[in-house]
Structure 1
Amino acid sequence: MPRRTDALLGRLLAGLAALDPAAVWAHGSLAGGDYQEGRSDLDLVAVLPGPLGPRTVWAVARLHARLRGEPLAPLLHCTYLTPAGAAGPERRHLTWAHGELFRRPVTPVTRRELHDFGRVLHGEPPRALLPPVPDGELRAFVVRDQRDFWRPHVDRPALWRQDVWVDLGLLTLARATATLRDGRLISKREALDLLPGLGAPAELVEDIARRRYDDRSATPPDPGWTDRRAVLVRDYLAPAIDGLVARCG
């Protein structure tokens, strides 16, 4: 594991020790083999003894506040489950992400990732505490995510001038396609390789590859590229999502 990542996770685990976690797991890029230090999020799930009352919530908030000075801290996302609440896929769980505490579900995709290739950082493995995700539940979530979240957001032009929306929009489409077609979860690197075969414009694929995997000092595109890219992305994603949902919904 890269040095700065290892240092941050070490500090987090040391801080969580006082809360006696049953398990701490990594998912996403850190578990799936596509982790890029300083670029990829650090996606974690911790299982704490429940219930998570005010004192525990305050302890979690203080721990993350103490970690703010770490270089990779803005990329650290951690959701806190309890053994009694881990089985509920619709339940919203305490989560630290984007510098704040809020609540969100642990999606069927995340749960399947944890079962298939989750990385145990401490304690019990995911299969000991999380129920399996049936194929039908996974497929239904992926279709719903494309139809109800991504498709409406394609119609918001300002979003697609931002790198993060371009990257996640196209890569999530490719990952959804692989899941619905083959029943498997793929990494972002594999999704990038899949995009040309799904008809994505070569300029968009090259743009994502340059920013995610090439030297950051590489020459950026011309000033008008951001606006032109937004049009390309929206023109591609709208029919691509509609077609995927029509085939698999």
Structure 2
Amino acid sequence: MADQNTERLIDRFVSALRPVVPLVSVWAHGSLAGGDYRPGRSDLDLIALLRRPCTAAEERQLGEVHEALGRDIPLASRLHCSYPAVTELDDPARSHLTWAHEELMHRPITPVTRRELHAFGLVLHGRPPTEHLPRVADGQLADFIVKDLQDFWRPALDHPERWTRDIWVDLGLLTLARAATTLQDGRLITKAEALDVLAELGAPADVVDDIRRRRYGTPGPADQQWINRRAELTLAFLGPAIDQVIATSH
């Protein structure tokens, strides 16, 4: 469950949206919906379903809503929200207006997100996802996961400078573990569960412990020697591990 600060942020966010856009429902997916949410550490992943697409004026007002929240509530910097219209949900490849990383952009609502919403989506306003969002077939979900590993994560290993950053280490390893589990038996797992799967996959124990401390514990400052060593260990593990997961998916 969310803490009081997160609940206040969500309440204020929904209240601010209602006079600005033709709001139908607001849903949470990701850590908040899956029960693994950590205030100040987890992103707050939301979908705001609209009766129709936003006008240009409404887009500007949406940006102002998010910017105002960010000025008043530090936690709002982690709030990401896509704004699909009811008529735009059929194609998972279609991009939708989205606020993420403190700016407006366009990106799809992926098959993984869609499956999360059907499996355990949290209704914050309006009606449940099952009433509006088409179901994702198992094959469609598996194809997306394999393509994401092949086309995004595998090429990312060719840029070693990225892997000195916490976000790349965390997302790269956790995405691998979650992908391996879903491809094997169709389950969607939390990041906490993914840490246990990483150990089973043979991920470097020191790196897995590092992720666990930063997400669930009280980490101390990391020195540059460890940051560089962590990047080396991660890169050495991830390449063969991604290849193995892709190979066993066929």
Same fold, TM-score > 0.5, yes or no: yes
Residue 13 of structure 1 corresponds to 14
* Offset, 1:179: 0.2
Residues 18-71 of structure 1: per-residue CA shift (max 9 Å, x gap): 124111000000000000000000000000121322122122112112111211
Q: 1:53 is matched with which residue: 48, 55, 60?
A: 55
Residue 176 of structure 2 corresponds to 173
TM-score by length of 1: 0.97
CA contact (8 A) 2:22 2:52 kept: no
| Residue 236 of structure 2 corresponds to residue 235 of structure 1 | yes
Moved over 2 A (4+): 218-223
Q: Could you tell me how far apart the structure 2 residues matched to 1:29 and 1:239 are?
A: 28
Q: 1:133 is matched with which residue: 125, 133, 136?
A: 136
Residue 79 of structure 2 corresponds to 76
* Offset, 1:221: 4.6
CA contact (8 A) 2:195 2:212 kept: yes
CA contact (8 A) 2:34 2:120 kept: yes
Residues 131-179 of structure 1: per-residue CA shift (max 9 Å, x gap): 0000000000000001110000011100100000000000000000000
Letter in 1 for 2:37: Y
- SS of 1:68's equivalent in the other structure is helix
| Residue 194 of structure 2 corresponds to residue 188 of structure 1 | no
TM-score by length of 2: 0.96
Letter in 2 for 1:27: H
Q: Could you tell me how far apart the structure 1 residues matched to 2:207 and 2:70 are?
A: 34
- Compute the RMSD of aligned alpha carbons: 1.0
Residue 43 of structure 1 corresponds to 45
Letter in 2 for 1:74: S
Letter in 2 for 1:22: V
Q: Could you tell me how far apart the structure 2 residues matched to 1:220 and 1:65 are?
A: 30
Q: How many residues align?
A: 247
